Structure 1
């Protein structure tokens, strides 16, 4: 079987026992460092991908992709609009809504809340709430009964459960014979939901007709919520829809309400990836010190090979093979550990939380209450190629230095 001489000798040097054990230690350290750097980079980027995915699926599954609201008053012909708007390319569904910002109170507990008045039949087409109900169902919101669905965190904060009453207070006052009084209404809790994000602590749902009556919206709808096939097309599609409608409308999309969070995750992924790549680079370039010491240790062998007719190019290839093998083994082990870690990081962190009795991602503080992970093969390819390339580059100088060895000088003291 044909095997080039530089490859044969390079592999032979790699398998042979070192006379200098310190060189073996440095070589092993370089390999372990490269393995850890590559595996940590894969795991961290997978977690970043997981947060990105959860932002799109969970948070943006609850908040509107885009909304169209009337500039003054309500929307009269909303039944026709929610039927015709989804016919436009790129728009998956539309649903009417009434929204209000106010306070929900129960006893001494008060919490600022965004309340959506929805029609259950339409809402399940544009929201993922039906998949995350803990108690009750979206269909339990019936007109005239003034029922309300609360996020699980919000319900726990107010200390209520299904069947209890909460009071909604609007930030405005009404004047009557008794004087100036705040506008308030009692609602009955008919269910709770949990999506594992901060919306569980500040979002509630009521029936559209009940909330419209409380807000005194005669048309019954203040806006239309849109669900897009492509999230990133939401700003343009919502605007295209609004300009075709008669009258004046305000357009808002998720890039205004949650765009900064999405951009922050993207920037964090880029910066963290860059920093961890530097760690991989440091581990890869430890190969330089390993090969420099190997070259010094093998001066006599190099001189003998040169005497037998080995060219500088062949000597350079021998040590490039030896250094590249360290990079290949370290990178492949790192990729294997990284894949295993990325696929199981959520379970590992969950088990660690139970063991320590600590919740690392509190839903009161963070958008997502657990550590998500999504392994992307393009990330693995980029990391693998980068690790191998840096390992290869690290072998060039020591190998070139070995090729410059002069036989007479090397054998003078042998």
Structure 2
């Protein structure tokens, strides 16, 4: 093996009679390097979006919800206590969801009014992280917390009085009545990014109970936070059997599973496409080695007449091919890891330079997340090495088949 390594190094550093061979070899190495770099960066960004979805979006949106379409859920305090006895449930809280409009100085914005128990809500939701200068647990009956985009569109400031308009339906005629108006003081702003900022209006549960004519033990829905978010769909039905009320069962899969599935689909597509690119670059080494074998026929023949074994010739050219691949792997891994670490800062710099953030209002984050995973790097490098070994096997075997008598006799 040492002799094969020595020969491969001599062949690599020797001047080629045809410079085109060296050009193809370098192009193959660069192609492998760029493929690895792109794959590492792409997977890091995908990992970043997945991490942010689990620890940012799913930390705010309900994991499991039970909402009563008709009669309210009674004695919600007792039912929440029963839910929390289950080891799979971290916490539970009541809510009342209403659609309405927010009004300020003649401007209107559609909002999703969510009546919450402030002290219980902070246990099931991490939205407090995105509310500055106000403790959600202290939300009183005459106060409201709005999303940043609602605040921007209405032009309202902290301390201003905002009017919430809630549609009313005549139970006898099923026709709309005049909307109920409630004036509340804006005390907090949710700045998270994405749809949460566009629709969120948080008010005290007692406020929505008064609107619907409920007493303090009645609510329209219960929200659960579970330990395993990916088991929420199955847990929703299992835990729901504890309720005697007629409710709609929902989990985060219903509203946001398409986002998670899109992330996984993009991961698969990126793997396939970029690995195919790396495979093409790896198999370009075949062309390099075939021409190299053709050029070095006389050298190979002399080596064989001196007693070199076929295995020595095979390992020599496989090592030469691996040498080209390893240089590309090293270059690609270094560039890929470096860019994967700094790409969030680069995105911020680009957004500031261009004056436009392409992620604003589209996704649940307004920055480009990146999370480098060592396993992704190892798998990428390993698969590239495997493809290189496969690619170099045939030309190396062809080199060992050279007949010294035919070559030297010409």
Residue 205 in 1 paired to residue 202 in 2?
Answer: yes
Residue 42 in 1 paired to residue 40 in 2?
Answer: yes
Residue 293 in 1 paired to residue 291 in 2?
Answer: yes
> Aligned match of 2:306 in 308, 328, 341?
308
Unaligned runs of 5+ in 1: none
Per-residue CA deviations over 1:310-345 (Å, capped at 9, x if unaligned) read: 233321211011001111221132222212111111
TM-score, normalisation: structure 1 = 0.92
Secondary structure (helix, strand or coil) at the match of 2:201 reads strand
1:7 Cα deviation (Å)? 2.3
Residue 160 in 1 paired to residue 156 in 2?
Answer: yes
Inter-CA distance 383–372: structure 2 relative to 1 (3 Å threshold): same
Q: Is the 8 A contact 1:103 1:169 kept in 2?
A: yes
Q: Is the 8 A contact 2:64 2:225 kept in 1?
A: yes
> Aligned match of 1:380 in 377, 385, 395?
377
Per-residue CA deviations over 1:222-256 (Å, capped at 9, x if unaligned) read: 11110011011112222222212333332110111
C-alpha RMSD of matched pairs (Å):
2.0
Q: Which residue of 2 aligns with 1:406?
A: 403
Q: How far apart, in 2, do the equivalents of 1:80 and 1:220 lie?
A: 11
- For 1:222-241, list aligned pairs within 5 A: 222-241=220-239
Q: How far apart, in 1, do the equivalents of 2:398 and 2:358 lie?
A: 51
Q: Which residue of 2 aligns with 1:188?
A: 185
Q: How far apart, in 1, do the equivalents of 2:101 and 2:326 lie?
A: 60
1:181 Cα deviation (Å)? 1.8
Q: Which residue of 1 aligns with 2:270?
A: 272
Q: How far apart, in 2, do the equivalents of 1:393 and 1:326 lie?
A: 14
Q: Which residue of 1 aligns with 2:348?
A: 350
Q: How far apart, in 2, do the equivalents of 1:164 and 1:152 lie?
A: 14
TM-score, normalisation: structure 2 = 0.93
Unaligned runs of 5+ in 2: none
Q: Is the 8 A contact 1:58 1:197 kept in 2?
A: no
Per-residue CA deviations over 1:40-88 (Å, capped at 9, x if unaligned) read: 1011011011111111122111110001233532222111222231120
Q: How far apart, in 1, do the equivalents of 2:110 and 2:383 lie?
A: 49
Q: Which moved more, 1:106-115 or 1:246-255?
A: 106-115
Q: Which residue of 2 aligns with 1:85?
A: 83
Q: Is the 8 A contact 1:97 1:222 kept in 2?
A: yes
Q: Is the 8 A contact 2:94 2:116 kept in 1?
A: yes
